[in-house]
Amino acid sequence: MSIISAFSLATADAFTKKALADSNDYLVAMFRLIFSLPILIIALLFVPIPPVDNMFFKAILIALPLEIIAFVLYIKALKISPMSLTLPFLSLTPVFLIFVSFIILGEKVSLQGAIGILCIAFGSYVLNLHEVKNGFTAPLRAILKEKGSILMIITAIIYSITSALGKMAIIHSSALFFGASYFILVTIVFSFIVLLKERKEVKNFISEGKYISLIFPGICQSIMVISHMIAISIAKVAYMISLKRTSLLIGVIYGYFLFKEKHIKERLSGALLMFAGFVLIVTAT
């Protein structure tokens, strides 16, 4: 289930990037979510409704606007930058969680976690290793020049918050119920906002048939959500999340084969290092 979730996410991202080439960012994002609705609604019909309390609703209300902001930034990053330079930065999420825990709770990083952070840092350096000819710090400066990378780093920060809120909501409900209901709610709220903002563009988007290219990414999105929630309900969270994050490696490979992105060897090497760091952090005790 974790691998299916990873593959579905990377596939949705790759085909979304293709659709973004000549389309409105917000409408692409909206239709990707809308086309995920049918499967999510059907799944919700078969999920037992657990007892929920105020903490469940508080977690969702706080997470919802953050999730929408993160999704918009995620889509924009996919559009403006190569997948091989954006997706690997999702591995930063547990790093931010570590620092948040240290600041708020005083929790210290384990040796394994520290090694993981170093792997992610070195991996992000390797992503732009070809820039080293312009100086030792050039690969790091290249990250700041790539707007999509910056947007994905911000997305990772937001996801570090929403993942904690999601965990709280799951504790006060169930994984399957939360996953289906939460993303249905995200879709409804996001679509309402986009329809208000881009109502003049919607008719053209539909009349030109651009929405058709989002059917497959939407189906992949729903499969990702359902398989994620099934996996997280039956497996250890750290291992499940580690396997799912192989999506960043799959995304780099998609970037090479579908979009002919350059410097694939160093970007795949960097992504592997960042993935290894991610695994070390989330499996640290």
Our CA dihedral for 272, 115, 237, 55, rounded to 10 degrees, sits at -120
DSSP H helical segments within 198-284, as ranges?
199-207, 215-234, 237-244, 247-259, 264-282
> Looking at 50-59, 208-217, 235-244, 252-261, which range is the least confident one?
235-244
* DSSP secondary structure code for residue 285 in this structure: -
Q: How far apart are CA 250 and CA 252, in angstroms?
A: 5
Reading the block at residue 6, the tokens are 């990873």
Residue 92: which residues within 8 A CB-CB, separation 6 or more? 120, 153, 156, 157
Tens digits of residue pLDDT in 63-77: 999 999 999 999 999
Mean pLDDT of the chain: 92
Percent of the chain with pLDDT over 90: 78
- Tell me: pLDDT of 81 over 80: yes
Let me know: does 208 contact 3? Beta carbons within 8 Å.
no
Tens digits of residue pLDDT in 104-122: 557 677 889 889 999 999 9
pLDDT score of 234? 85
Q: Which long-range contacts (CB under 8 A, 24 or more apart) does 186-192 make?
A: 186/33, 186/64, 186/67, 186/68, 186/71, 187/33, 187/34, 187/36, 187/37, 187/40, 189/64, 189/68, 190/29, 190/30, 190/33, 190/68, 190/71, 191/30, 191/33, 191/34
77-97 average pLDDT score: 93
Q: Among residues 215, 224, 225, 236, which one has the least CA distance to residue 282?
A: 236
Q: How far apart are CA 26 and CA 71, in angstroms?
A: 10
Q: How far apart are CA 25 and CA 37, in angstroms?
A: 19
Say what angle helices 264-282 and 93-105 make with each other, to 10 degrees.
Answer: 30
Residue 260: which residues within 8 A CB-CB, separation 6 or more? none
- Tell me: pLDDT of 100 over 80: no
- Tell me: pLDDT of 9 over 90: yes
Say what angle helices 2-20 and 237-244 make with each other, to 10 degrees.
Answer: 40
Domain range summary for the chain, segments of one domain joined by +: 2-44+51-282
Let me know: does 228 contact 243? Beta carbons within 8 Å.
no
Q: How far apart are CA 27 and CA 19, in angstroms?
A: 10
Residue type, 256: Y
